[in-house]
Chain A
Amino acid sequence: MTDTTNTPHRHIPDRLDNPVKSAVFSWETLLVLVGVAIFTANAFASPYFLNEWSLSDLTFNFTEKAVIALAMALLIISGEIDLSVAAIIALASTLMGMAVQWGVPTPGLVAIGIGVGLACGAFNGFLVTGLKLPSIVVTIGTMSLFRGLSYAILGDQAYGGYPADFSWLGQGYVWWVISFELVFFIAAAIVFWFVLHRTNFGRRIFAIGNNALAAQFSGVRVARIKFVLFCLTGLMSGIAAVMLTARLGSTRPSIAQGWELEVITMVVLGGVSILGGAGSILGVVLAALIMGLVTFGLGLLNVPGIVMSIFIGGLLISVIALPILYRMWKERRQ
């Protein structure tokens, strides 16, 4: 570790690995194994776990965050980050709550939630791509601004009285135990998978994340794509705000506090490189499932939420640290 410059030393192999071998040893396979292990442990730890309604409740634990994580994955792959997602939820939820007081019906509320999310995302995108500012500080600033506006509007009050058909978006079931939130998440995951892994747009995101300058010289409109990704992250945060508000049925300015951390943890746990340029939607979906399993399992065992956050923080660090430690150990052996 004497070399501390920022240039990564990339080892380029003479030929690619056998596809079967690389699939077996991939990050996603590891995630599946971890997921199965936690699922089994949960089933043994609590007698209430293996029940279709318990499993359905489990999905409510992560779908809203996972919806944001899909877009965040694209943003992080492109080499940017958005720490303001939870604050966007707070602002969108507050404005929806305000609209309820004026008697706006459900379609209007959904439009407001999604519109506010999109506008916040566009604002982030403009600051980062238009004014060429670093996304970490910009989104720390907007995080404080968006949630601050929510506090300024609400103070220590709360909004409630959402219409019944609005609640369905967060509490309703499409069929049997399959909730609307879960269906929406699966549909969104398929769309994001297609966009990232099967379109030119997706390839360009990887290109930007690996080398934005080279991408620019290859004719990729770096700024425009990054702007779109910020808008997309804002949009998904707006949708998450609609679902969360509908599920809780009330709005406080502290709503979704700390979610930015959990969303980023999901993305990083899913194998997306925090430095950009690598990652997959399948990994993010699996990571979302694992985080849902862990928090729900701990919840069944009566572990308080703040202790769970220790697990999540530890998970975030160890997921990144372990592969590095493993690589260092392997290098030392050679």
Chain B
Amino acid sequence: MIRFFKQREVMLLAIIAIIVALVTTRSSGFGTPRNLAAVFNDTAVLAMLACGQLLVILTRSIDLSVAANLALTGMIAAMINAAMPGVPVEVLIVGCVVVGGLLGAFNGVLVWKLNIPPIVVTLGTLTIYRGAVFLVSGGTWVNAVDMSDRFKELTRLVFLGLPMLSWFAIVVIALFVLLMARTSLGRSFYAAGINPTAATYAGIDVGKTKFIAFTISGMVAGLAGYLWVSRYVIASVDVARGLELQVVAACVIGGVSIAGGIGTVGGAVLGALFLGVINNALPVIGVSPFWQMAISGAAIITAVIFNARGERKRGRIILKSAEAA
């Protein structure tokens, strides 16, 4: 089983390397470490969100509200910064995580306590949060001029050759790896997804596990809210519209099974990097960036087909080994 997971990640890594190599033959600057670091920086937010989404999908749920959550927390942070430049950015970041976590917890409560299907809950909160951005901002946007210098610079500061935005992503990804591999909470996400009945008998509260997954996904989205606004120095109603689909796409491409219980942090991050490399490669090889959406759609479908095959094959292997034993 472990070998299979590794295969998926190795396969993805190989595909990414091939794409980078092919694009580099067309444009020699693409494969340089400097440009690859820029691509990673570009994908940092997507990779973080994919980690949060991973937890939710593992528990047989889906969170379509992350992009709206990001837009709302980003807008709140930008407006506070514009109104009160004296508030330290660190406090704002903590605030973003808290607000995002609360928005995620709201999804989680509806799924946990009322048993409403997650897709319905998050389709609903997606529009509510997006509309709330309009309500808090009154339809206006916050620009570079209104933001304090530190607010804008924090994601750009270079540390050991990488911008802070990349470091944020690296730390978040590392935390997720620790969570999934080294804590019983991390393992309970897998248990709750692969067999909820067995998990319940093993003493895991499946509903509560889903609630925690949604809350963590929301916290990551909140953090991403600040990072996004700081990076692109704009907060508006339309920020990151449609990003939720890219996040789900990253997970699915990374081998996360939408049926729950299967997937790794490494897969989700590589899925995000795959999309990031494609998005950055298109303009370089002279393809209109308007193709991005269609390509990620095709990538999702292909990945789902692959995942389904892998899952079926895995089932057979287990049966065989059980017979042999």
> Majority SS of interface residues in chain B?
helix
Q: Is A307 an interface residue (CB 8 A)?
A: yes
Evaluate contact between B116 and A324: CB separation under 8 angstroms: yes
**Minimum CB distance partner of B120 in chain A:** A274
Bound-state Cα–Cα, A140 to B197, Å: 28
Please state if A310 and B294 are interface contacts (CB–CB under 8 Å): no
Q: Does A317 contact B (CB under 8 A)?
A: yes
A275 surroundings in chain B (CB, below 8 A): 117
Contact A317 B120 (CB under 8 A): yes
Q: Which residues from 116 to 145 on chain A have a C-beta closer than 8 Å to any C-beta of chain B?
A: 127, 131-134, 136-138, 140-145
B87 within 8 A of A: no
Task: Please name all residues of chain A whose beta carbon is closer than 8 Å to the beta carbon of B196 when the two chains form the complex.
Answer: 4-6
A54 to chain B, nearest CB (A): 25
- Taking A4-B205, A148-B294 as known contacts, 9 extra A-B pairs with beta carbons closer than 8 A to each other, sorted by chain A number, are A141-B304, A144-B296, A155-B288, A265-B124, A274-B117, A306-B139, A312-B127, A313-B131, A321-B110
Interface string of B257-268 (1 = CB under 8 A from A): 011000000000
Instruction: For the complex of A and B, list the 5 residue pairs with the smallest distance between their C-beta atoms, beginning with the closest.
Output: A148-B294, A145-B297, A148-B293, A144-B297, A313-B127
* A133 CA / B123 CA spacing, docked (Å): 21
Name the residue on B nearest A253 (C-beta): B290
Given A81-B119, A143-B297, the answer on whether A137 and B127 have CB atoms closer than 8 Å is no
The reply on B157 being an interface residue by CB < 8 A is no
Q: Mark B14-52, 1 if CB is under 8 A from A, else 0.
A: 000000000000000000000000000000000000000
Q: Determine whether B134 belongs to the interface, using a CB cutoff of 8 Å to chain A.
A: yes
Contacts of A81 in B (CB 8 A): 119
Contact partner, A310, options B127, B245, B295, B300, Cβ 8 Å: B127
B135 to chain A, nearest CB (A): 7
Chain A residues near B125: list those with CB within 8 A: 313, 317
Find A142's partner among B115, B124, B139, B301 (CB 8 Å cutoff): B301
- Chain A residue at minimal CB-CB distance from B296: A144
For residue A136, give the distance in angstroms from its CB to the closest CB of chain B: 6
Are A144 and B258 neighbours in the complex by a CB distance under 8 Å? no
Report whether B115 and A145 are in contact in the complex, using a CB–CB cutoff of 8 Å. no
Q: How far apart are the CA atoms of A146 and B300 in the complex, in Å?
A: 12
Considering only CB atoms, which chain B residue lies closest to A155 in the complex? B290
Q: Is the CB of B296 within 8 A of A4?
A: no
B248 at the interface (CB under 8 A from A): yes
Given A134-B259, A143-B297: A151 in contact with B116 (beta carbons within 8 A) = no
Residue of B nearest to A264 (CB): B123
Cα separation A10 to B252 with both chains bound (whole Å): 34
Q: Nearest chain-A residue to B245 (Cβ)?
A: A144
Interface membership of A147, Cβ < 8 A: yes
A97 to chain B, nearest CB (A): 15
In contact, A151 and B123 (Cβ under 8 angstroms) = no
Q: With both chains docked as a complex, state the minimum distance between the C-beta of B103 and any C-beta of chain A, in angstroms.
A: 13
- Complex Cα distance A258/B301, Å? 21
In the bound complex, how far is the Cα of B249 from the Cα of A148, in angstroms?
14
